[in-house]
């Protein structure tokens, strides 16, 4: 992994994975500046987007691909559509339009579009290239980088998928100007996560720089996205298929995925569920002696400052969590492993916690 800083408002990171390495371009105006067509190997492209994003950015992307044969498919917007039926509609579009093995898929949208497009690319004719053009903060700092692709199942989130790396990731921060405030805050949950798991200095920077981030300052946004992507790229380069350390990227996600599944993927946003999950994981880390009460309070206060949940849904019981968490992908041989903090900025994947302490956390109200 290496980094190239061109100006305070643009950056480039390379994810080093031998023959699967790829660049991440970050900054204002990148959709036009990068020359995305050079990452398309054949003549044909299928752009996958959704009803919200298509109106805003599909014409711009199509103009950047004027030298290619471009088809597009517009999906319904929402986590509840990240399923096998939607995947099948993408595959049907590819077949109907006679796309071959040199076709490139481009994901134009948030995490749902990126995950399902990547999985379609992994499946179609046993694998065709794809490019990520993430348009939400959450997808820019997390789901577009690292090659995790998937769809949901009614019984569990992201249970059907593949590790499949993109050819490039193009992060145009201008897209954040049209992102609803709630979606931006949800993305900040994943940004905060990187400070918690591996970068205490970045956590401190986030505590000090909420104002410029909330004001949409381009230099601050680019820095936050770049620092997040650097942290993720470092972990992915060391453990591409999550055999070990990569699982630390799931801080709060075991709790969060349980919340999303409980709500049938139509309640809280992913980042909101992860935010509550990170508070729960931090609480268990506090009980187990990994972090201090002061550090727990800092974590909770930073998450809360972005109007994110710091407690699970009031209608969700400890029994609900217990049932759903044991379907998590980090369960091995019936043992539930969790991502916990050894210190602020240092996470581990462990089953070395007391069941009683976990049940205390699941039963807590997290009230002020």
Distance CA 109, CA 118 (A): 12
Q: Which residues are catalytic?
A: 126, 148, 190, 232, 242, 246, 250, 253, 257, 270
The position carrying tokens 């453990």 is 239
Helical (H) or strand (E) element with 11: strand 10-15
Is-contact 86 115, C-beta < 8 A?
Answer: no
Query: CB atoms < 10 A from the CB of 140, how many?
Result: 34
Is-contact 9 218, C-beta < 8 A?
Answer: yes
Q: Which two tokens stand for residue 324?
A: 């759903």
CA angle 146, 151, 155 (to 5 degrees): 125
Closest CA to 203 of 295, 78, 288: 295
Q: What Rg, from alpha-carbon coordinates, does the chain have?
A: 20
Distance CA 118, CA 147 (A): 8
Closest CA to 139 of 82, 203, 198: 82
H-assigned helices in the chain = 30-33, 51-64, 84-96, 111-123, 137-138, 181-198, 200-208, 210-214, 218-238, 253-262, 270-287, 293-305, 318-325, 355-362
CA 6 to chain centroid, in Å, comes to 25
- Backbone phi and psi for residue 65, each to the nearest 5 degrees, phi listed first: -115, 30
């Amino acid at each position: 992994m290496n980094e190239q800083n061109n100006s305070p408002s643009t950056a480039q990171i390379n994810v080093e994975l031998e023959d699967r390495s790829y660049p991440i371009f970050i900054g204002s105006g990148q959709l036009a500046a990068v020359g995305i067509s050079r990452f398309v190997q054949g003549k044909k492209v299928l752009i996958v987007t959704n009803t919200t994003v298509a109106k805003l950015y599909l014409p711009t992307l199509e103009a950047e691909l004027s030298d290619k044969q471009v088809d597009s498919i517009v999906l319904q917007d929402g986590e509840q559509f990240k399923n096998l039926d939607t995947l099948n509609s993408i595959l049907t579009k590819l077949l109907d339009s006679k796309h071959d093995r040199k076709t490139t898929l481009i994901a134009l949208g948030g995490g749902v579009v990126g995950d399902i497009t990547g999985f379609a690319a992994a499946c179609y004719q046993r694998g065709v290239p794809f490019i990520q053009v993430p348009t939400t903060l959450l997808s820019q700092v997390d789901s577009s980088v690292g090659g995790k692709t998937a769809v949901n199942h009614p019984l569990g989130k992201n249970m059907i998928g593949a590790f499949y790396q993109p050819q490039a990731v193009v992060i145009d921060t201008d897209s954040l100007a049209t992102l609803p405030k709630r979606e931006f805050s949800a993305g900040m949950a994943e940004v905060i996560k990187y400070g918690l798991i591996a970068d205490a200095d970045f956590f401190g920077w986030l505590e000090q720089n909420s104002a410029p981030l909330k004001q949409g300052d381009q230099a601050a946004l680019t820095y936050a996205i770049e620092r997040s992507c650097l942290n993720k790229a470092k972990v992915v380069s060391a453990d591409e298929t999550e055999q070990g350390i990569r699982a630390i990227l799931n801080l709060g996600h075991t709790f969060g995925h349980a919340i999303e599944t409980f709500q049938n993927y139509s309640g809280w946003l992913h980042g909101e569920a992860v935010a509550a999950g990170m508070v729960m994981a931090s609480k268990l880390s506090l009980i187990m002696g990994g972090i201090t009460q002061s550090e727990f309070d800092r974590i909770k206060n930073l998450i809360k400052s972005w109007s994110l949940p710091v407690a699970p849904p009031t209608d969700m019981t400890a029994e609900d969590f217990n049932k759903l968490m044991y379907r998590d992908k980090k369960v091995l041989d019936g043992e539930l492993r969790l991502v916990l903090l050894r210190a602020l900025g240092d996470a581990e994947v462990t089953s070395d916690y007391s069941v009683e302490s976990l049940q205390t956390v699941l039963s807590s109200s997290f009230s002020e």
